[in-house]
Amino acid sequence: MLAEKFAREKEERLRRNKFQRRWYDREYQKEEQNIINDVEVKKKQYSSERSLNPPFDRDAWIPKTELGRKVKSGEISTLDEALKGGQLLEPEIIDFLLPEPLIKVVDVKKTTRITRAGRNYSFRVSAIVGDGNGHIGIGSGKAIEKLTAQEKAIQNAKLNMIYVKRGCGSWECNCSVEHSIPYKVVGKCASLRVELIPAPRGLGLAASNTIKPVFQLVGIQDIWSKTMGATDTDLNFIIATIDALHNLSKTKFQKYIDDEQSKNVDKTKYVLQDSSEKKAKESSIKEKNEKLKK
């Protein structure tokens, strides 16, 4: 339609004079360029959407591991249960349990390898995957093409999913909503150190722009942060923050609770039994000593 309209107008204008013809041609070229650019932008959007979140066929999936079989049969229905055994071996488990994951491409780097024939280029892409409700994973992939590297990175990130403990540990705010972290924590990567501090409600993310998506994908709204070391390497910076979030669930107290749960013993009962046994032993020893003295 547009092309026809322009052609008709062009004929009319061409009759007039040379100056006007030149002006008109320039305008026509501009309009044409705009149309081409619009189409290209739409194509790029479509391709990025498709590659970031490819459709997953639930019925066609044939699980290879025992965990996968349990997930497909419905025995395991939540992410927390699936992550209890440690690292996952199949990315399809996350696809099955999380139909709409939040994905963000964090870092894209072009790498070169020099050979006899010349230079070989390849891409290293890293991405983070989260659910906005206390789970996050980071992974990277390498390939000659950028899109295939991206797909690899997302699959790898799904395998490295971890659970993040959230809470409200700020003394300025005493609510029971999980909007921040429960206590101060430190994470490391290379020479980089990241310290995360709980913040009151409504403060926002007081952190660098490079690590803000990590908190958005985990579901933390308020936090303070301190950094030491070289923060200009983006990937190390993000790995250090995720390490800090992972350290939240590495405390001794958490270990104690996990052990108790595995034994299926009530925590209070366990403690009382121990103390009562100890008291009984002590009293028996005292009685013996007293008898010996007499």
Q: What residues line the site for Zn ion (CB under 5 A)?
A: 168, 173, 175, 201
CA 76 – CA 67 distance, rounded (Å): 8
Which lies closer to Zn ion via its Cβ, residue 125 or residue 223?
Answer: 223
Which lies closer to Zn ion via its Cβ, residue 147 or residue 173?
Answer: 173
**DSSP character at residue 179:** S
CA 205 – CA 233 distance, rounded (Å): 20
Which lies closer to Zn ion via its Cβ, residue 146 or residue 201?
Answer: 201
Q: Minimum distance between the CB of residue 221 and Zn ion, rounded to whole angstroms? A: 10
Q: Minimum distance between the CB of residue 269 and Zn ion, rounded to whole angstroms? A: 33
Q: Minimum distance between the CB of residue 223 and Zn ion, rounded to whole angstroms? A: 12
In sequence order, which ranges of 219-266 are alpha helices (DSSP H)? 234-247, 252-263
Q: Taking the C-alpha atoms of 54, 108, 185 and 254 in order, what is their torsion angle to the nearest 10 degrees?
A: 30
Q: Minimum distance between the CB of residue 167 and Zn ion, rounded to whole angstroms? A: 8
Q: Which residue is nearest to Zn ion (CB)?
A: 168
Is the CB of residue 195 less than 8 Å from the CB of residue 244?
Answer: yes
Q: Minimum distance between the CB of residue 149 and Zn ion, rounded to whole angstroms? A: 40
Which lies closer to Zn ion via its Cβ, residue 128 or residue 168?
Answer: 168
Which lies closer to Zn ion via its Cβ, residue 141 or residue 198?
Answer: 198
Q: Minimum distance between the CB of residue 114 and Zn ion, rounded to whole angstroms? A: 54
Closest alpha carbon to 85 in 162, 173, 4: 162
Q: Taking the C-alpha atoms of 93, 154, 113 and 235 in order, what is their torsion angle to the nearest 10 degrees?
A: -120
Which lies closer to Zn ion via its Cβ, residue 149 or residue 181?
Answer: 181
Q: Minimum distance between the CB of residue 172 and Zn ion, rounded to whole angstroms? A: 8
Closest alpha carbon to 93 in 111, 116, 69: 69
Is the CB of residue 181 less than 8 Å from the CB of residue 165?
Answer: yes
Closest alpha carbon to 213 in 112, 58, 104: 104
Which lies closer to Zn ion via its Cβ, residue 105 or residue 173?
Answer: 173
Query: Other CB atoms closer than 10 Å to residue 267's CB: what's the count?
Result: 12
